[in-house]
Structure 1
Amino acid sequence: MNTKSLVCLFLFVVSTVGCRHEHKHPVDFYYWKADVHIGETERNYFDSLACERLFIRLFDIDLQEGNPVPVAKIKRFDATIFPAEYVPVVFMTNRTFANMTDKKIDELAEHTLKLIRDIATVNRFPEIREIKIDCDWTTRTRNAYFRFLEILKERSAKKISCTLRLHQIKDKKQTGVPPVDKGYLMCYATSDPTGDDSANSILDISLLKAYTRTINDYPLTFDVALPLYSWGIVTNHLGQKKLVNGLSADDMQFPFFRRTGEYTFEVEQDCFLHGLYINKGFTVKLEEITPSLLTEAKQYLHRKIDHNYRIVYFHLSEGFLKRFTIQELK
């Protein structure tokens, strides 16, 4: 190969790589509230980011008296508010699938599908193309959960997708690869918020990197889910912990709170914190997603993942959205 040909080949490779790294990942949102309220802020972000899909949680499934039942069902709303594709999401507890017979699994899939269809009809969903299941399955429940997904696909004739936790990507040989059309990699909830770890349990970049070292070997197409939410971890005098959702640094104001660290505070006066009554001497650890942390995560994933993917933000709520500009979410 002559020098001119080598130069042309080099320029072609560089331009190809450059195009990939300039790729913009399209953005969608989750909606996770039972009482639906879509205001001007939510509509503005959804429209400005040219979102095409809203992943909307319809209900949870959990065990009650030994039987799987739907709980926390979404209240009635008007799905025509967005000219978008609505993807129904069902959250299912892992214990739901413990010790289930094949017959019970088949019945659960049928009942789940019927309730999805009923809610979609009442709320005027456009055509459903995809159903998404959210479950943190384990090696013990894997077979039952995977059968449920197979039956759901067979009886719905729809595209079936599911969430993928980071540990399920890392330990795919133990947890298995779910029989779905697509996965959604949850790049959040990286550790236990009630533990003693000083790291941000919502999103810790070092843990994200550790769990995704071999991510490109995962044999299933997936998009990426990223967090926008925040919370505070309140610890009382006995060391008991409670999560308070939606907290930000603006809530930690003098004279009720005294900063003891970059993200930690001590309660100086008895008060209410987002409806929770707390006493003097309690401590609060604030965990939130800042624009810089979100950007760092997105840049790492962009460099790491070798296929094109969409980003789904958790979730579409004014309280979280207003912390970011439109540009920061693109």
Structure 2
Amino acid sequence: MSKMFINYATYIVLILVLAAPGNAHEIVLKDGKIIKTRSCWEENGAIKYERYGGILTIEKKLVEEVIYSEEEPVVSPVKKKFGTILEQQEKLRKERTRSLASDEIFRLCKPAVVIIKCGGAEGTGFFISDDGYILTNYHVIRSHSSIEVHLSSDEVYIANMISSTEKPDAALLKIDRNNMPYLALEKNTIPEEIIGKEVFAIGNPGGLQFSITRGIISQIRTMDDVKYIQTDTPLNPGNSGGPLINKLGNVVGMNTLKRAYSTGLNFAISSDSLFTWVEQYSKFGIVHYAKPSQNSDDEPPRPSQEGPGIFIIPVPGPSW
């Protein structure tokens, strides 16, 4: 049996540290409550603060005053951190200049791919920085249960959800781990340059962890205002959130959809759409804490899933 290390202790310590930090700023609410945090700042008419491994927001009208523990202005840690992530992405893209064989791609990229388990669902994800930031599909973690991240080394971590959005179907997670291998998102997916090119998917199809499949880019489609890479690369439930990788070892898409009762009609959210989402988050620090569908009175249920990992587009499928 593989030895598994679940970071519950680290997770608990993180919560305790953030709940009662030393040299903390104080957010004094009008109802008399006081929130202590290591970082807080005003942004877009609201007060944002760091807590529980993420960035939370409170309406300014609910705040009596903010007492800073230091005189100089506080800069959003989101902007600091994601400036570093975008720099890492750019550095890796510049390094990846050689076309790789399929076995090289698997050896190079597998350590940057993770298996995600959440509330009975299973999917895939991949690191986008060396300090534990992960991209996956929102529908993989939408149950808001405890999110387990399984590494190729057999280690298991509990992830914090940093941000999520239903359009594009994406979520940003974070585990407490440094010096991780990661993958670079291609910034431009131009049809004339990539259609017909060979691509690879590494993921968790049917629970068969870290499987690699191969295909080509068939076309680029826009569906519901989201740009997708159409591919005949075999995808199955469990591949959701995993990378679609070109021969340079960079990500051109995040595997998300397949068309029901069809062969070879699979779709990945384009890497440039994902890069734009991450870049916007880095600039504005916007966090979307989506509500679980089963507990919402004003949010209609999402389409049901077939299997634990990838959405199925019903026949006749999207129009284009």
Q: Which structure: larger Rg?
A: 1
TM-score by length of 2: 0.21
TM-score by length of 1: 0.21
Of Structure 1 and Structure 2, which has the larger fraction of its residues in strand? 2
